[in-house]
Homo-oligomer: A and B are copies of this chain.
Amino acid sequence: MDPITPIGVIRSPRTELTNEWWGEITARIELDPQVFQPGATSGLTDYSHVEVVYAFHLSTRTCTADQHPRHNPSWPRTGILAQRAPNRPNHIGVTVCELVDVVAFSLTVRGLDALDGSPLLDVKPYLREFAPRGPVRQPDYTDELMRNYF
């Protein structure tokens, strides 16, 4: 496997961990000009949404078993792979957000839940064919967990 290294950085007004109201946050994705050549974002504005892959760079601990989501004992202990907490093996975040604008190597996005300075690992166009095939089922407590997230 080839090494995975940052290909840019995320600039966000948010600098501290929070789990509320990411939906209206506008962030800027700055692509590394050492990595990309002109044309790398050509055609991207034909898409309304992008999938952003980034590193949880402020996550220092790693859980390899189970924990209460957000360390809140009112939610059941679940495996680290059954939650999206940052303290997972491989500190990788993946979030679909709205693409607002692209100017040269700078992308403006809305609704990206990444803290300022997060290393960028990938940007992919969102295609509706990549949505879940079949009906989605998730546990009831996630209604509360996600209520004000976006």
Q: Describe A's contact surface by its main secondary structure.
A: loop
Residues of B with C-beta under 8 A to A139: 43, 46-47
**A41's closest neighbor in chain B, by CB?**
B79
**A120's closest neighbor in chain B, by CB?**
B90
* B81 touching A123, Cβ below 8 Å: yes
Residues of B with C-beta under 8 A to A94: 51, 53, 94, 122, 124
* A42 touching B66, Cβ below 8 Å: yes
Residue-wise interface mask of A (52-93) relative to B, using a CB-CB cutoff of 8 A (1 in contact, 0 not): 010101000000111000000000111111111000111110
A binding-site residues for B, Cβ under 8 Å: 1-7, 23, 31, 35-44, 46-49, 51, 53, 55, 57, 64-66, 76-84, 88-92, 94-98, 111, 119, 121-139, 142, 146, 149-150
